[in-house]
Amino acid sequence: MSEFVISTRYANALLQTAEENNSFEEALKSIELVYNTLASSDELKSILNSYLISTSKKENILEAIFFGKVSSEVKNFLKLIAIRGRANLLFEICERFIQLSDEKLNRIKVQISSAVELSENQKEDIVKKLEKITNKKIVASYKVDKSIIGGFTARYKDTVIDASVKHQLELLKKKLFEEKYLSN
């Protein structure tokens, strides 16, 4: 069975439990914490991936790190994952949980890259426009990328809205080359 399917199952399980117990917000915050911790620590990831370390040890490690910092449900969830031998998929499970929560809250994470720092007004405008296009709540993250020369690109899920000068130049180049071929 693919990792995707397994992660989805676990994430869904936690999601449904949290909803039933009305503790969805805390669950999400806790999982985000776990996700960020794992993302920043390669050591932790490799320990959880390792077959040499027993499940009880992994359980203890997780407990020690996250004691008091996560909701009780998530604590039990982590225990469950360790016992079931799926600690190697913890990162994917958290990732999937966050994705499913976004869907539930009708949220989309958008990565906006611009050539120069955008003003608050500009940021607001872009977010408003995106909200209209996607019909969802936008959670925007901003990045300055000089290589796009001018304009901005907004990437969410699999779609890119490209209003950068770099892309326009590429299209121009393509069109000129086309003309060269076609003008025979």
Partner 1 sequence: MAEVKPDEVSAILRKQLAGFENKIDVYDVGTVLSVGDGIAQVYGLSQVMASELVEFPNNIIGMVLNLDEDSVGCVLFGDSSLIKEGDTVKRTKRVASIPVGEQFLGRVVTPLGIPVDGKGAIQSSQYLPIERKALGVVARQPVTEPLQTGITAVDAMIPIGRGQRELIIGDRQTGKTAVAVDTIINQKYTHSEEAKAEGIEPVYCVYVAVGQKNSTVVQVVSKLEEHGALDYTTVVVAAASDPAPLQYIAPYAGATFAEYFRDNGKHALVVYDDLSKQAVAYRELSLLLRRPPGREAYPGDIFYLHSRLLERASKLSDDLGGGSLTALPIIETQQGDVSAYIPTNVISITDGQIYLEPDLFNAGVRPAINVGISVSRVGGNAQIKAMKKVAGSLKLDLAQYRELAAFAKFGSDLDQATQKTLAKGERLVELLKQGQYAPVPVERQVVAIFAATKGFMENINVKDIKRFEKELLEYIDLSKPELFDTIRKEKVLSDETIEAINSIVSEFQNKFKKS
Contacts of residue 111, defined as CB under 8 A and 6 or more positions apart, other chains included, come to 140, 141, 143, 154, 155, 156
Q: Which is nearer to partner 1, 83 or 169 (CB)?
A: 169
Q: Tell me how far the alpha carbon of residue 178 is from its chain's centroid.
A: 38
Q: Is 144 near partner 1 (CB under 8 A)?
A: no
Q: Which is nearer to partner 1, 128 or 157 (CB)?
A: 157
- Full 3-state SS string of 6-29: HHHHHHHHHHHHHHHCCCHHHHHH
Q: How far is the CB of 111 from partner 1 (least distance, A)?
A: 12
Q: Which is nearer to partner 1, 82 or 130 (CB)?
A: 130
CA–CA separation, 110 and 4 (whole Å): 22
CA–CA separation, 106 and 127 (whole Å): 15
Q: Is 4 near partner 1 (CB under 8 A)?
A: yes
**What tokens appear for 49 in the block?**
């991936």
Q: With contacts defined by CB under 8 A, name the span among 74-82, 83-91, 136-144, 176-184 that binds partner 1.
A: 176-184
Q: Tell me how far the alpha carbon of residue 100 is from its chain's centroid.
A: 10
Among 22, 141, 147, 184, binds partner 1 (CB under 8 A): 184
Among 29, 109, 136, 155, binds partner 1 (CB under 8 A): 155
Q: Are 57 and 47 in contact (CB under 8 A)?
A: no
Q: Is 131 near partner 1 (CB under 8 A)?
A: no
Contacts with partner 1, residue ranges (CB under 8 A) = 2, 4-5, 155, 157-163, 167-168, 171-172, 175-176, 179, 181-182, 184
